[in-house]
Amino acid sequence: MSPRAHNPAARWTYCNDCEHRGYHARSDAKAVRKRHPGEKGIAVFACPHTDGMFHVGHRPEALSRGDIDRGLLRTQAVQALEIRRQAI
């Protein structure tokens, strides 16, 4: 049995920048999302700070409405991280 076949929910890393669990494969994040069938609006999205990491969570309202796109969302997340780092 391959190491990824057993429990995708057990393979995550905490992302200090986003303050979310991060999964190293999109398929693992999707498997975790499927474990929450009653939740509406749960999405799998790439971490804006770490390449190859994916998060599971609610999409921002503005993204769902089409007011912003994913590129702008990533830019805002990176800018917010820079501001937090400068404050330290």
- The pLDDT profile of the chain, 88 residues, written as one tens digit per residue, is 455 556 777 788 898 888 889 999 988 999 888 887 777 778 888 888 888 889 998 877 777 788 878 788 778 778 877 887 888 7
Domain that holds residue 52: 8-87
How far apart are the C-alpha atoms of 34 and 85, rounded to whole Å? 34
Q: Are 4 and 28 in contact (CB under 8 A)?
A: yes
The answer to whether residue 15 sits within a structural domain is yes
2 in a domain, yes or no?
Answer: no
Q: Domain count for the chain, please give it.
A: 1
Please tell me the pTM assigned to this model: 0.65
